[in-house]
Amino acid sequence: MIRVVLDTNVLISAALSPKGNPAKIIERIADEEEVQVYYATKIFEEYKRVLSYERLNIAKEIQIAIINTMEKVGLLIKPVASIIPLPDETDRVFYDTAKARGAILITGNIKHYPSEPFIMTPHDFLSYLEWMLE
């Protein structure tokens, strides 16, 4: 089982582009056989808050479906805060949650994080997943 943490921008992209790589990742997570997702309370709260932004115009049923999927298949953990410098402190919880579980952090904003092998774009993660499952 491959462990992951999803940055909020991955969920937003999945909601806005149902055929894109982020949506494919959500489908793989919903499958519950290959990928295990982790989140912290702060992450889950951010998911709900950002998905509901009016300016994003994400249909309520899509918001609910994504949140329900994450809640159903995700595992809630309590990460320990790191001291590594990050350009945006609001991203720390994603980094720390991934580090706590030895998970891959999937993000569309790779520049917000240090250059580390466990931090991947959605495209890179899907390539990695295919390679791992061969």
Please write the tens of the pLDDT for every residue from 38-92: 999 999 999 999 999 999 999 999 999 999 999 999 999 999 989 999 998 999 9
Please write the tens of the pLDDT for every residue from 77-103: 999 989 999 998 999 999 999 999 999
At 73 the pLDDT is 94
Q: Lowest mean pLDDT: which of 25-34, 97-106, 112-121?
A: 25-34
- Total-model pTM: 0.94
Q: DSSP of 93-130, one letter per residue?
A: HHHHHHHHHTPEEE-S-GGGS---TTEE-HHHHHHHHH
Domains of the chain with bracketed CATH: 2-133 (3.40.50.11490)
Radius of gyration of the chain (CA): 14
Cβ atoms of 32 and 39 within 8 Å: the answer is: no
Q: Which residues are within 8 A (CB) of 45 and not within 5 positions of it... i.e. 6 or more apart?
A: none
Residue reference for tokens 């580090």 = 99
Mean pLDDT of the chain: 94
Structure tokens given for 119: 């931090």
> Per-residue pLDDT averaged across 13-19, rounded?
96
